[in-house]
Amino acid sequence: MKQERFDKIIATQFNISRKDARIAIRRGKATLDGKVLRDFGALVNVESDITFNGQALNYKKYIYILMNKPKGVLSASSDKNKQTVVDLVPEHLRRQGMFPVGRLDKDTTGFLIITDDGEFAHKAISPKYEVYKSYIVTLDGSLTDEMVKAFAEGIVLADGTRCRKAELEIISDNIARVKICEGKYHQIKRMFGVVGLGVNELKRESVGALTLPKGLEEGACIELSTEEIKVIFTDC
């Protein structure tokens, strides 16, 4: 069974700083197997019976939050002047070191995972693993079969950058579903710019084989299990 420092366990699992965790531990606010433990540097089994301020610990190495990102919110961990997606995470689900997996533009909505698991984040966004992200796009003009072909062949952006092959599915005259496995800066907007269309609305609906729940309102979020996280990589 894994062991960690007592102060680290308290800090990460209860979303407080290491300094505050140490102060609280010294003051007798934490217990191990029913007894107060004041040694914040003690190595402790993470599956032990631990409480902090009377609250029982349910240890999780990492946490995964699925958010339906609303417009006008930054895909960032923090910002001095603007609201971020981490600011929207309910207090009981927050952790030190949380960050969004990949960035959605400020006015892009939809599927966004927030976590503290760097290895997972790298695998989910790296083109190497070919995890496809699906978007619903509303455009300012009509879609054509020639555009579908151009996306399938790989769009060359205005600066000469070649995008990987992408899937463009026409839903209606000016609404499409786009699937890509990379995340260049403003990529979808730039891809459509090459074929002469502007993007009016952009919503991410899925990452890999995991889809945004239909009933999840904008700005709301749910915690994902490790089993649900694995679904993302089903088709990789």
Give the phi and the psi of residue 142 in degrees, each rounded to 5: -85, 140
DSSP letter, residue 51 = E
| Catalytically annotated residues | 105
Residues 6+ apart with CB under 8 A from 148: 168, 169, 170
**Position of tokens 């503290």?**
116
Nearest to 134 by CA among 232, 2, 14: 232
**Position of tokens 């946490």?**
63
Cβ contact 39:21 at 8 Å:
no
The token pair at 144 is: 């054509």
Q: Own/partner pairs for 145-148, CB < 8 Å, 24+ apart?
A: 145/170, 146/195, 147/195, 147/197
Q: Tell me the CA distances in angstroms from 152 to 11, 209, 227, one per residue in order.
A: 48, 20, 32
Cα–Cα distance for residue pair 215/187, rounded to 1 Å:
28
The token pair at 132 is: 């496809």
Cα–Cα distance for residue pair 184/103, rounded to 1 Å:
10
